Amino acid sequence: MTSTYTSANSFRLATMGANRLARLLGDWQTGERALHTQLASGLRALIASGALASGTRLPSERSLGATLGVSRNTVTKCFDLLRGEGVLSSRQGDGTYVSAAQGSSTVRGDDRLRSFTEDDDVDHIDLRSAALPGLAMVADHFDLLDSSRARQLIASHGYLPSGLDELRDAVAAYYSALGLPTTREHILITSGAQPALRLAASSVAQPGAMVVIEEPSFRGAIESLRSLGLRLVSVPSGREGVDVDQLAAVVARERPALIVLQSTVHNPTGSVLDVFRRSRIASIANRHGTPIIDDAALVDTIIDGDRRPVPLAAGSDMVMTVGSVSKSFWGGLRVGWLRAQPDAIAELAAVKGGQDLGTSLIAQLLASHLLPQVERARDERLRTLTEARRLVLDALDERLPSWMPETPMGGGSLWVRLPAAVATSFTNRAERFGVRVLPGSTFSIHDRLDDYLRISYAADPAYTRRGVDLLADCWDAHYADGIG
């Protein structure tokens, strides 16, 4: 969370929240040196890179220590060391802020997606990413590709910004089968769901425009929208999905440029909007003329309820739908799409062509063979995710009975409420026990929700169980007595 204040240097300066700073620091405890010197090294690196810009106000020593799971004295000694070097400055009653930096923090995110960029670490159980392993049928279909069609594509220049026609037809058939009549002209192929969301958002909202998003929400959406310079306003979302009454009130009052939702298998809560709420949201879009991006990339991982809900876009032409083969088949294909009205798709294809000239045709060709097999994929995901969810819930009930997980209706992760707002400090301590999870602040545009964790159960159940055991060991060692 950032805010502004006026300091003695007369500039409007950003205040860095403790949760965000902890995220930027990452795994800062990497040696045998004293903790305060290791923390100082981490802060120096952030300042040198420009991630902490000149004039950034740092959190208080007490709050940063609590968030990092170290003593206030450790942070005080760190700040004293950096003040002695002239890197930090303080004024009585004015806090501590960065005196000098090499660059600007405006070009950098805040590391919400760190788990996707780090190398595998065999010394840690990593329960941060809910990305599902690929299905065996993906490899099987490599051998079934039409070699004559592949040769035909290879003989061309290979640049198709709108996407391969046979894949656009397959995606259109996919949506038509869900009750949303769709043709090729409604579909733009992208290199995954996140590029589709970013492209759609940039087409309807200019930098500085207001965008309504759920709280909590997918960390990739927060990062993407912020990188476009958009101003995010939150509406609460929970086990039944977004609070539609509050959404209606915010849209009527603020007149935002865009709404970004996850109607089907919300990340991180796992909720699925029912028919009534879908209808109300479509009515809000129609009444106010407000575009909606519906990120429904997880739709094929539904576990409970209607496994083929009618898409939100069936109720309004104002809805643009983001989809992907990543959760259905395999994320490594890097094939996603945007479903919108044909005139919007034509305009976006021209923009996309100027950015990347198109998505891999061989990956698209494989995806076009796989998508007609989506029913098989849904069944396989249902079998594996149902069992994995049951086992992780049982493990938490056994080892961490004071934790309160919400049973997701789909997907590969749990949204878990803790008995106290200690998630960020706990995740820092848990990493030292050998297990990694994501604190709730990662999914908050305000860097709040520190009484929640997200725990993935997408990996092998034995791996997940080992991770839960390590989480329990950490909780028992540091938190159970003081909180319970």
Q: What is the pLDDT of residues 135-158, one digit of tens each?
A: 999 998 887 777 888 888 888 887
Residue 9's pLDDT is 38
Better pLDDT: 288 or 8: 288
Share above pLDDT 70 across residues of the chain, in percent, rounded to a whole number: 92
| Cβ contact 312:261 at 8 Å | yes
DSSP secondary structure letters along 388-405: HHHHHHHHHHHH-TT-EE
Pick the CATH number of 114-134+376-483 from 3.10.520.10, 1.10.10.60, 3.90.1150.10, 3.40.47.10: 3.90.1150.10
Residue 3's pLDDT is 42
Residue 51's pLDDT is 82
Taking residues 423-434, what's their average pLDDT? 91
Distance CA 177, CA 188 (A): 18
Q: How confident is residue 19, by pLDDT bands cut at 50, 70 and 90?
A: confident
Torsion of CA 180, 183, 185, 190, to 10 degrees: 70
Taking residues 319-336, what's their average pLDDT? 96
Distance CA 106, CA 112 (A): 15
Residue 153's pLDDT is 85
The residues spanned by each domain of the chain are 2-107, 114-134+376-483, 145-373
pLDDT at residue 258 is higher than 90: yes
Residue 23's pLDDT is 85
pLDDT at residue 11 is higher than 80: no
User: What is the H or E stretch that residue 337 is in?
Assistant: strand 336-339
pLDDT at residue 435 is higher than 70: yes
Separation of first and last alpha carbons in the chain:
29
Q: How confident is residue 8, by pLDDT bands cut at 50, 70 and 90?
A: very low
User: Which CB contacts under 8 angstroms, 24+ apart, belong to 470-475?
Assistant: 470/125, 470/430, 470/433, 470/434, 470/435, 471/399, 471/400, 471/430, 471/433, 471/435, 471/437, 472/399, 472/400, 473/433, 474/426, 474/429, 474/430, 474/432, 474/433, 474/435, 475/400, 475/426
pLDDT at residue 53 is higher than 50: yes
pLDDT at residue 479 is higher than 90: no
Structure tokens at 60: 């208080």
- Contact partners, residue 354, CB within 8 Å, separation at least 6: none
DSSP secondary structure code for residue 56 in this structure: P
pLDDT at residue 343 is higher than 80: yes
Q: How confident is residue 356, by pLDDT bands cut at 50, 70 and 90?
A: confident
The answer, yes or no, to whether the previous bond of 216 is cis (omega within 30 of 0) is yes
Residue 115's pLDDT is 53
Residue 193's pLDDT is 95
pTM listed for this prediction: 0.81
Strand ranges (DSSP E) for 127-262? 187-190, 210-215, 231-238, 241-242, 258-261
| Cβ contact 67:120 at 8 Å | no
Better pLDDT: 220 or 392: 392
Residue 91's pLDDT is 73
- The owner of tokens 């006026």 is 6
**Residue range 98-129, pLDDT digits in tens:** 986 544 444 345 555 555 555 556 678 999 99
Which class would CATH give 145-373? Answer: alpha beta
Which class would CATH give 2-107? Answer: mainly alpha
User: What is the H or E stretch that residue 6 is in?
Assistant: strand 2-6
Residue 326's pLDDT is 95
Better pLDDT: 343 or 145: 343
SS3 content of the chain, % helix, strand, coil (to 5): 45, 15, 35
Distance CA 425, CA 482 (A): 14
Structure tokens at 225: 């929208």
Residue 476's pLDDT is 95
Residues 41-56: b if buried by 16+ CB within 10 A, e if exposed: bbbeebbeebbbbbbb
Rg of the chain taking only CA atoms, in angstroms? 23
Structure tokens at 451: 């009484």
Residue 259's pLDDT is 98
Taking residues 35-44, what's their average pLDDT? 89
Taking residues 395-408, what's their average pLDDT? 97
CA distances (Å), origin 128, targets 3, 132, 151, 324, 467: 28, 12, 40, 20, 11
Residue 16's pLDDT is 84
Question: Is-same-fold flag (2-107; 114-134+376-483)?
Answer: no
Of 7-11, 35-39, 220-224, least confident by mean pLDDT is: 7-11
pLDDT at residue 1 is higher than 70: no
The pLDDT mean for the chain works out to 89
Distance CA 449, CA 469 (A): 23
